[in-house]
């Protein structure tokens, strides 16, 4: 019987690996067994690691143990891709475990965790194993470096069980002198950054083609990042900031500085900062095998625009291939990112990835100071920096340029014959109708997995994040057909007024529409009332899953451990609702029920996690909505439509809602059908 993956729940961390002696790194092979084995003291059981003839690891070993690792650097990507191939190529789980254990103390740790995570997610025999959240493995990517000295002290002085969580201050990266700091709580949110890391783990852009080539992955690259932009812009409006200005002239100084105050514990380095006014330069860093000019980026950009404006890209044979109405955006996503699915990297290059690289090296473009990349250089941390949104406003604008070339949706493509929405609204318990309420909550993350302290046990860091009261949507829809009809409910919210207080025209407002939920309904003939809970959103995952707090991983509402994985991808539930304002922030709630005959994707029912399908798709399945992502707001409106109300057909409705923020810290109530309701802090 082949060995099966072992899952060791946190808190019962009492299993040790029994490894062949020659698997230890050479430096440790001479040490006394009592030293080598001291971490195994008190373990209840041992996992035997089989000795195998090891594959050739010379390629992944080209990156040093203490060097930082960036997915955006082509050399690093290639080394990681090789390691992933090795992991995926192991025939049995036992062999996979064996080679992983061998690599554990040899390969660059960041690359190891990345490649191992991708492999676990995609191997049939491990895809149901939970991956611990990156915030536990590398807490230094998420938490102010000052916390770690205190954590070490706490761990050494105070016994496990009596330790008090270490409070992470709310304003540690900047002061209010920097107006961008007003939205730092959102950019630096641990859950948002975990989502982004996890999304790129599920949708890698360079490794085995069978893994990269997921249904509509280029289009999802566009759409998921577009939604990040829409949400960030809305958050800015809530904080009296203008919408993000796209960063498209790469010769201009960058006024937004960023000082991350993170230290890498692995690479023993401080993440570089970027003072205001930094200017991008040509990159020539032999150490990273990187050599490209800003002109290269500009050339690629111009060629991508040329493809969009002529409606066709050039394939490697020099032929023009049309960017089609439905498939064009997917090709364009792969071209721009660029993933290995890009049809022609010689012509269109590697624009988005090397854009990240150019920005992340602007402080040391030729390596004269021996500095490494800044936080823009990797998906786990990039969303903390204001320049992330300015750069992605550029990529988003490229996609919009393409979308603007497509035919507008006709009334027939929008309407659902015989189905009329007569009433919509949201209800927060104990509040006026159509009001949402936000506040702050403190939650804890356990740093202990990522810190190598000898006294073991949890070391908690307590951080403050935005949160909201759960609410529900209510939709009344009349089906005038004399048979049941299946439909897809599409829920968006968008700000009503721009930064000057002027009402939005449709053209601008559609770019700011935030997807809140999407689900199918069966409408019986006559009036139907649909109730839907905010916690069921198709864009979010519950708090417990964002942080995969495995101690709390008892089943929630029928959920089982094997769903804790693919499932780490998803917008954090606590950021579903924009902050709003203390005096209230008016938004339009838009709800549409589209005709399911145009939405349906024929495929087997997914057995995996389906909580955040809008952003993350379904595992081993097609994206479960046949419409273009972002529908119905992804294209220009038909002639004559200037405002959202003018856009509506009978199967759509809009109502004004109000988001009220209370500047106090309220406890978090654990949601889901738990036996015991836990309140944190
Ligand atoms: Cu997700 Cu630029 O892609 O970061």
The string of pLDDT tens digits covering residues 256-307 is 999 998 887 766 678 999 999 999 999 999 999 999 999 999 999 999 999 9
Enumerate residues 6+ apart whose C-beta is below 8 A from 302: none
- The residues annotated with a catalytic role in the active site are 337
Give the atom of ligand 1 at the shortest distance from the alpha carbon of 388.
2
Q: b/e per residue, 160-192, with b = 16+ CB within 10 A?
A: eeebebbebeeebbbeeebebbbbbbbbbbbbb
Tell which wins on pLDDT, 408 or 461.
408
Give 162 Cα–ligand 1 centroid separation in angstroms: 40
Contacts of 112 (CB under 8 A, 6+ apart): 83, 103, 104
Cα(379) to ligand 1 centroid in Å equals: 6
Q: Nearest CA to 80 among 117, 52, 32, 49? A: 117
Global pTM reads 0.91
CB 543 within 8 A of CB 570: no
Confidence of residue 554 (pLDDT cuts 50, 70, 90): very low
Indicate which atom in ligand 1 lies nearest the CA of residue 224: 1
Ligand 1, atom 4, residue with closest C-alpha: 379
Complex ipTM tops 0.85 = yes
pLDDT at 92 over 80: yes
Ligand 1 atom closest to the CA of 228, numbered from 1? 1
**How do residues 106-164 score in pLDDT, each as one tens digit?**
999 999 999 999 999 889 998 878 787 788 788 888 888 778 778 778 777 888 778 88
Which of 72, 73, 225 is the best mutation target for the ligand 1 pocket, counting ligand atoms within 8 Å of the beta carbon and taking the most?
A: 225
Band (pLDDT 50/70/90 cuts) for residue 471 is: very high
Task: Give the pLDDT of residue 1.
Answer: 41
pLDDT of residue 449: 65
- Residues having CB within 6 Å of any atom of ligand 1: 196, 200, 225, 352, 356, 379, 382, 392
Instruction: State in Å: Cα 398 to ligand 1 middle.
Output: 15
The pLDDT tens digits of the residues spanning 348-383 come to: 999 999 999 999 999 999 999 999 999 999 899 999
Take residue 675 and report the two structure tokens written for it. Answer: 């036996």
Please state whether beta strands 312-314 and 320-322 pair in parallel, antiparallel, or not at all (unpaired): antiparallel
The preferred substitution site among 357, 379, 398 for testing ligand 1, maximizing ligand atoms within 8 Å of CB, is 379
pLDDT in tens, 188-240: 999 999 999 989 988 988 888 888 999 999 999 999 999 999 999 999 999 99
Is pLDDT above 60 for 578? yes
Q: For ligand 1, what atom is nearest to the CA of residue 392?
A: 2
Q: How far is the CA of 376 from the centre of ligand 1 (A)?
A: 9
Q: How far is ligand 1, taken at its centre, from the CA of residue 386, in Å?
A: 13
């Amino acid at each position: 019987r082949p060995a099966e993956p072992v899952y060791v729940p946190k808190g019962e961390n009492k299993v040790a690996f029994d490894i062949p002696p020659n698997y230890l790194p050479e430096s440790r092979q001479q040490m006394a067994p009592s030293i080598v084995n001291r971490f195994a003291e008190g373990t209840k059981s041992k996992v035997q690691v089989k000795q195998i003839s090891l594959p050739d690891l010379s390629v992944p070993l080209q990156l040093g143990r203490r060097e930082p690792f960036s997915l955006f650097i082509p050399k690093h990507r290639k080394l990681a891709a090789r390691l992933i191939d090795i992991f995926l190529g192991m025939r049995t789980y036992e062999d996979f475990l064996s080679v992983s254990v061998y690599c554990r103390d040899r390969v660059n740790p960041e690359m190891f965790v990345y490649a191992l995570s991708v492999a676990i997610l995609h191997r049939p025999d491990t895809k149901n194993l939970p991956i611990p959240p990156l915030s536990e493995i590398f807490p230094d990517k998420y938490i102010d470096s000052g916390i770690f000295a205190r954590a070490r002290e706490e761990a050494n002085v105070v016994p496990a069980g009596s330790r008090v969580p270490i409070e992470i201050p709310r304003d540690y990266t900047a002061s209010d002198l920097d107006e961008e700091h007003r939205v730092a709580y959102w950019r630096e949110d641990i859950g948002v950054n975990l989502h982004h890391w996890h999304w790129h783990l599920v949708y890698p852009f360079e490794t085995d083609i069978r893994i990269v080539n997921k249904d509509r992955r280029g289009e999802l690259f566009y759409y998921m990042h577009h939604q990040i932009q829409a949400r960030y812009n809305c958050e800015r409006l809530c904080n009296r900031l203008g919408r993000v200005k796209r960063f498209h002239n790469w010769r201009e100084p960058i006024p937004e500085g960023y000082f991350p105050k993170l230290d890498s514990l692995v690479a023993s380095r401080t993440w570089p900062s970027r003072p205001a006014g930094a200017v991008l330069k040509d990159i020539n860093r032999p150490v990273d095998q990187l050599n490209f000019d800003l002109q290269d980026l500009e050339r690629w950009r111009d060629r991508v625009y040329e493809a969009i404006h002529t409606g066709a890209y050039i394939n490697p044979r020099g032929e023009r291939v049309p960017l089609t109405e439905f498939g064009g955006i997917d090709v364009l996503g792969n071209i721009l990112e660029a993933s290995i699915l890009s049809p022609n990297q010689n012509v269109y290059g590697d624009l988005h990835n090397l854009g990240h690289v150019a920005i992340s090296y602007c402080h040391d473009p030729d390596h004269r100071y021996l500095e490494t990349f800044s936080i823009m250089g990797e998906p786990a941390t990039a969303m903390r920096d204001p320049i992330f949104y300015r750069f992605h406003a550029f990529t988003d604008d490229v996609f919009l340029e393409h979308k603007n070339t497509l035919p507008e949706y006709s009334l027939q493509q929008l309407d659902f014959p015989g189905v009329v929405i007569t009433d919509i609204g949201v209800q927060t318990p104990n509040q006026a109708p159509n009001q949402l309420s936000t506040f702050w909550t403190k939650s804890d993350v356990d740093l202990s997995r990522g810190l190598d302290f000898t006294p073991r046990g949890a070391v908690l860091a307590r951080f403050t994040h935005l949160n909201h009261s759960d609410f529900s949507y209510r939709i009344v829809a009349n089906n005038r057909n004399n048979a049941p009809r299946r439909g897809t409910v599409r829920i968006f919210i968008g700000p009503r007024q721009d930064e000057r207080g002027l009402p939005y025209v449709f053209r601008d407002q559609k770019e700011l529409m935030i997807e809140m939920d999407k689900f199918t309904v069966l409408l019986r003939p006559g009036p139907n009332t649909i109730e839907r809970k905010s916690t069921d959103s198709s864009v979010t995952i519950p708090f417990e899953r964002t942080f995969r707090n495995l101690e709390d991983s008892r089943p929630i509402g029928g959920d089982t451990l094997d769903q804790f994985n693919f499932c780490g991808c998803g917008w954090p539930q606590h950021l579903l609702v924009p902050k709003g304002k203390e005096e209230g922030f008016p938004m339009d709630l838009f709800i549409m029920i589209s005709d399911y005959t145009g939405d349906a994707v024929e495929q087997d029912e997914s057995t995996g996690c389906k909580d955040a399908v809008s952003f993350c798709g379904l595992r081993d399945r097609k994206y479960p909505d046949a419409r273009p992502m972002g529908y119905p707001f992804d294209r220009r409106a038909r002639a004559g439509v200037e405002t959202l109300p003018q856009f509506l057909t009978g199967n759509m409705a809009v109502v004004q809602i109000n988001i009220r923020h209370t500047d106090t810290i309220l406890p978090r109530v654990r949601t889901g059908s738990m036996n015991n309701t836990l309140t944190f802090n």
